[in-house]
Amino acid sequence: MCVSGTKVAYSAEGIEFIGTVFAPAGSGPAPGVLVAHESPGVTEHTLDAARRLAGMGFVAMATDYQGGGQVVTDRDEMMRRFQAFLADPGSIRARMSAALEALKAQSRVDSGRLAAVGYCYGGAAAIELARSGADLKAAVGYHSTLTTARPQDATQIRCPVLVHIGADDPVIPVEQRTAFQAEMTAAGVDWRLVLYGRTGHSFTNPEADGWGRPGFAYSAAADRRSWVATQDLFAEVGLT
C-alpha cells in the first residue's frame, strides 16, 4: 500500500479537483471506494480513512469537492459553501460523479464494485451521488447531513444506504432524521440509520475535542462501532 497516496486530477463545472488514491498491496483488481471529506476539505482525517480502506483491500480515493485540494478554515466561508451545496444538489452530484469516474479510471479498480463513504457534508455528498443514480454497491455517511433539495430523486438510488448519526448531534436534529427516513422509505430504498447514544457531531474525528464547539466531540466507541458496521455492509453487498 502507498502510504502517501497518489495525486489524481479531475475536473467538473470548470474546476480542477485533486484526489488522493491509496491502493492495497498486490497487483490484482480491487473494489473502489470514494472517501468524501468533512466540510473544510481533505485533511488527515480523510486521508487516514482512505488509508485504512486500502489496508482492507480497497482502492480508496480521498475525494476533493472544494477544488484544488484546498482546505477552508474560515467558518463563515465554510457555511456559505455548505449552504450553496444544499441549495443545488446538482453541483455536488456533478463533482462526485467526476470523482467516481476518476476512481474508475485507476488501473486496479473493479468498476463493477464501487462504494462511496463520507463524513459530515461529505456523507451528504456520498448520498447525493447515490440519488443521482450512480452505479454503487453502497453509500455510507458518518455524522452526515441528511437533508436534500431534491428528495424525489431517492427513487434513483440503486444501492443500500447506511448512515451513522449521534443521538445528540446538534447539526442533525430529530426532524431531519425523520424526514430522511420518510424519504428513503417512500422511495423503496434499502436503508439503515444507526443512532449512537450520548454521541454528538464529528464523532469519528479525534481532533473534534479541540474545536471548542458544543455538541462536537470524538467518541472512540461510536467511531469503532460505525467502522465495523460499515465493514459488515461491504461484506453483505459483495465488496469484500
Domain membership of residue 147 (yes or no) is: yes
pLDDT at 116: 99
Residue 72 reports pLDDT greater than 70: yes
pLDDT band at 216 (very low <50, low <70, confident <90, very high): very high
Sign, CA dihedral 237-199-208-165, equals positive
Q: What pLDDT is stored for residue 158 in this prediction?
A: 99
1 found inside a domain: no
Interval 37-49: pLDDT, tens: 999 999 999 999 9
> 178: domain CATH number?
3.40.50.1820
Q: What is the mean pLDDT of residues 193-201?
A: 99
Residue 140 lies in a domain: yes
The string of pLDDT tens digits covering residues 79-98 is 999 899 999 999 999 999 99
Chain-centroid distance, C-alpha 21: 15
Q: Give me the mean pLDDT over the 156-170 stretch.
A: 99
**How far from each other are the two terminal CA atoms of the chain, in whole angstroms?**
17
Four-CA torsion 198, 201, 205, 206, nearest 10 degrees: -50
Asked whether 15 and 28 are in contact (CB, 8 A), the reply is no
Please say if the pLDDT value at position 2 is more than 60: no
Name the residue range of residue 133's domain. 6-236
pLDDT of residue 108: 97
Is pLDDT at 144 greater than 70 in this prediction?
yes
Can you give the pLDDT at residue 42? 96
What pTM, to 2 d.p., does this model score? 0.97
Q: Which of 204, 201, 237 is nearest to 220 (CA)?
A: 204
Cell readout for 212 is 471548542
pLDDT in the model for residue 4? 66
Tell me which H or E stretch contains 12.
strand 6-12
Q: In this structure, is residue 143 part of a structural domain?
A: yes
Predicted confidence band at 233 (pLDDT cuts at 50, 70, 90)?
A: very high
CA distance to 43, 69, 236, per residue, from 110 (Å): 26, 25, 17
Confidence label for 166 from pLDDT (cuts 50, 70 and 90) = very high
* pLDDT, the chain, mean: 97
For 102-124, the pLDDT digits (tens) are 999 999 999 999 999 999 999 99
How confident is the model over 207-230, as a mean pLDDT?
A: 98
Q: Which of 171, 164, 163 is nearest to 211 (CA)?
A: 171
* Domain count across the chain: 1
What share of the chain in percent tops pLDDT 70? 98
State the CB neighbour count (10 A cutoff) for residue 212.
Answer: 7
Structural domain includes residue 56:
yes
For residue 215, is it within any domain?
yes
Three cell numbers written together for 214: 458544543
| Range in 1-15, 93-107, 161-175, 188-202 the model is least confident about | 1-15
Give the pLDDT score at 190: 99
Phi and psi at residue 127, to the nearest 5°? -70, -35
What pLDDT was estimated at residue 3?
A: 60
SS3 for 57-95, per residue?
Answer: CCEEEEECCCCCCCCCCCHHHHHHHHHHHHHCHHHHHHH
pLDDT at residue number 51: 98
